[in-house]
Amino acid sequence: EEGAAHAAGEPSLAESRVVKYRVVNVCGTAVHLSFRSRHRDDVSTLVEPTGSQWQSVDEWVLPNFASSLVASVPGGQPSEALSLERAGAVSVPGSGLTAEVLAHSPSHRLVLLASPVRVHNRTDLTLSVRFHQAVTQDTLPLDMSLTAACDAKLLGHVRPDCDVRSQFQDEADAAGPRSNGFLLRPNSVIAVPASALIRQNQASITSSHAWLSIRPVALDVDFCVPIEVGAAIEPCSVFCRG
């Protein structure tokens, strides 16, 4: 059985008040969630990729007084227990993914299923994003769905008024994957696909890196040179020739 889905983080006021536990899956694969309850065994559901269409899991959590969950990919090993009542994260074994509880709102908890490296578009232009092989810098031929990204408001990221605004008009209708990159709208977040993640042997998944290049789709410019992003890597400026 599947829970109800909700559009782009904009449920009705009544829905917002009553839905306490929500799931956003942007990892590109279904994830099995098992909820720990003292009152009932086998409280679980399979969450397909959602994008911004977050899914309620109240029907599994609230009636059973579940206090934590474990996550796994189909056929994989379960993660460590993750509390539903406070912020935290666990790795999902054998998947390159994490399950994370976000507690940025006093009204609800959000379970984010994603890779540990994410790209947040904080500009006012839609960006085309490509991922690259680490050594050769070749573009990775990734088949990415629209559900690989979500509205950053769902994760507690509201674009501040002080952000610099460009002088160019955005292509408002641009959205989703294209042959030359994934189109990432302003104030949207994309999870780096697990196949594009790089980490040293035995290193924690949270120390993963990735290589990517970007360009604004509204401008006739080239992609920037590939840059490395991820844990402990300093921010940098990029330049698109054109």
Residues 70 and 45 in one domain: yes
Do residue 170 and residue 97 come from a single domain?
no
The pLDDT tens digits of the residues spanning 19-70 come to 999 999 999 999 999 999 888 888 999 999 999 999 999 999 999 999 999 9
Strand partners, 188: 151
Q: Identify the domain containing residue 85 by its residue range.
A: 13-114
Spatial contact of 148 and 26, defined as CB atoms under 8 Å apart = yes
pTM: 0.85
Residue 13 has pLDDT above 60, yes or no: no
- Asked whether residue 223 falls in the same domain as residue 200, the answer is yes
162 and 90: one domain?
no
Assess if residue 217 is contained within a domain. Answer: yes
Q: Any residues with CB less than 8 A from the CB of 164 and at least 6 apart, and which?
A: none
**Listed residues 74, 90, 114: the one ending a domain:** 114
Q: Give me the pLDDT at residue 176, please.
A: 44
Do 101 and 124 lie in one domain? The reply is: no
Both 225 and 122 in one domain: the answer is yes
Token pair 């829905």: residue: 15
Identify whether residues 137 and 226 lie together within a single domain. Answer: yes
Q: Cα separations (Å) of 87 from 55, 103, 122, 216?
A: 19, 5, 23, 34
Residue 201 confidence (pLDDT) above 80: no
What's the chain's average pLDDT?
A: 85
pLDDT of 98 reads 95
Give the residue-averaged pLDDT of 110-136: 94
Domain boundary at 85, 114, 143, which? Answer: 114
Q: 186 in a domain, yes or no?
A: yes
∠ CA 205-142-138, nearest 5°, is 85
The secondary structure of 155-196 as a DSSP string is GT-PPPTTSPPPSSPP-TT--EEETTEEEE-TTEEEEPPGGG
Q: Residue 20 corresponds to which tokens in the numbers above?
A: 């306490």
Could you say which of 114, 131, 151 is where a domain stops? 114
Torsion 84-89-93-96 (CA) sign: positive
In a domain, 239, yes or no: no
Of 18-32, 58-72, 157-171, 220-234, the range with the lowest mean pLDDT is 157-171
The three-state secondary structure class of 63 is: coil
Number of domains in the chain: 2
Residue 84 is predicted with a pLDDT of 96
The DSSP output letter for 198 is B
User: Are residue 105 and residue 128 in the same domain, yes or no?
Assistant: no
Residues 108 and 122 in one domain: no
